[in-house]
Structure 1
């Protein structure tokens, strides 16, 4: 009996150690960035396509203030309230001391410079599909933006969601690099897929989530409840968005719908970003959205 107990204890310890290894924060191999030359102009495109200022500028920022990435915006969810951190070029309060590799670790694996897990309110589940070239270029562009000494506020997340080690298990389940919409896509649709699924992280709002906060990929872009509890975020699939590609591209440029209505709510800031993209990029987004499969079940039955 004593031997059986010891054997069971050893097995439990081994299982625990294996579990700790599996959920440890992952890092990018330095060789991924070897030989990559940052492109400042491309970095600016990535900055706007990825919507960095929409989350990390100050809550009341407007105009040029949107480039002062002091953080402080609050995002309420059923798991708690997440407060966007300072990602300005300040080396102490912001991320001015980060290397391109540090940024790659955050974007690809949700891992901080000190080896901590980031909460997926930071959409690394989408950014994990970025190219190394775009990460290096974004890092170079961020370094040119103003340094702001504002300290970041801690997230307001209660037990058990505040246990960051547990996020390693969440990542095993839901951090799935790779494309959702595949098949015989045109070059334009492939470009749009990169802008929507990776940089624009559109699914983070327009796709419903399960009880653990993982995206329901079988309902990709089918619409979702508003995390703030008010209303519903609309679907972007063809059965719900019957606009033409030209209509979609124009909306992303001017904010005007085919019915001459205008964008409201958080889409105002999204369009602030997409309006800075090229016409080709906006039409690529529209072409991709037309290629997204209509979900097999009604979004209302999620």
Structure 2
């Protein structure tokens, strides 16, 4: 009996140690003061470019909005996934229902660390796993631009998640596996500047990998199949392969990719459809140089067969 009692006590102690370690490792991590200082004062003109590159309206404008209504970031879009239904929040300048009361540091911690002002983890349906690769100065510029947009009252509905996905603390362990500020695709020294600029736009603010890369069973991106296409997050439909591999866009030239991002027309005269329609509207707001850089990067990433 003594042996059994000792084993039981040992098991309890081990379980307790594991629980404590998990609690410590899953704690939200905020940005340090050096990173926050690198944000600078922010410039709204530059911030508008980041706003469109980041696709903020695609999720946070009221579904179906057109024209200036796309700048009313009241939220409400529902993303139904195997983990539950995520609802895009109001990120307008309303101080109660939106983020009008946020500081620039609050926005930076949200985008680069996935941490809310109250210190809890955001769900990665908010694509901070990509935004983590952004320059702090770009987040500062985005903050300045968001301050120019209207305050729209109306609190979005809560997420609809079951156990264990409603336990936010566990996201700290998910972040240990998938949250990094390092580029996904490593290029050799001497890579053209426009390819590197495209990498930043695609892997960072553009968060293209969030939809175009397949995911594992806990929702982490399979970076070994980067941009190879995936089953849509909603579980219906497929997001296309945008590498040069079989089933991808290897037959498209850089010019054709850039033209598609500008106009929505493919080389075979088809037009953009589905959720990519909103993304293309955002890409059309960028400069020709930005769209060309994105095209150059996509032509340079490793080719993969379809990931779905």
Pair in the same fold by TM > 0.5: yes
Other-structure match for 2:22: 19
Distance 1:272 1:106 in 2: 25
Name whichever of 10-19 and 127-136 sits farther off.
Answer: 10-19
Quick check: 1:28–1:105 contact (8 Å CA) kept in 2? yes
Shift of 1:186: 1.4
- Any stretches of 5+ residues in structure 2 without a counterpart? none
Q: Deviations over 1:190-230 (max 9, x none)?
A: 00000000010001000000111110111100000122233
3-state SS, counterpart of residue 75 of structure 2: coil
Quick check: 2:134–2:181 contact (8 Å CA) kept in 1? no
Matches within 5 A, 1:1-302: 1=2, 9-34=12-37, 36-184=40-188, 185-239=191-245, 240-241=248-249, 242-295=251-304, 298-299=305-306
Distance 1:70 1:57 in 2: 6
3-state SS, counterpart of residue 285 of structure 2: coil
TM-score by length of 1: 0.95
Distance 2:199 2:290 in 1: 10
Shift of 1:13: 3.0
Shift of 1:4: 6.8
Distance 1:113 1:229 in 2: 31
Name whichever of 161-170 and 198-207 sits farther off.
Answer: 161-170
Q: Deviations over 1:34-80 (max 9, x none)?
A: 26121111110000000001100011311100000000011111111
Q: Deviations over 1:135-190 (max 9, x none)?
A: 11111111110001111210011111111111111111222321111122211000
Distance 1:43 1:253 in 2: 20
Distance 1:211 1:10 in 2: 30
Shift of 1:10: 4.4
Report the count of equivalent residues.
Answer: 299
Distance 1:6 1:211 in 2: 34
TM-score by length of 2: 0.93
Question: Measured at CA, do residues 9 and 160 of structure 1 come closer, stay the same or move farther in structure 2, by a change above 3 Å?
Answer: closer
Quick check: 1:30–1:101 contact (8 Å CA) kept in 2? no
Name whichever of 29-38 and 15-24 sits farther off.
Answer: 29-38
Shift of 1:3: 6.8
Shift of 1:265: 1.2
Q: Deviations over 1:217-265 (max 9, x none)?
A: 1110000012223321110001210200000001100111112221111
Distance 2:210 2:110 in 1: 17
Distance 1:287 1:245 in 2: 6
- Any stretches of 5+ residues in structure 1 without a counterpart? none
Shift of 1:271: 1.2
3-state SS, counterpart of residue 199 of structure 1: coil
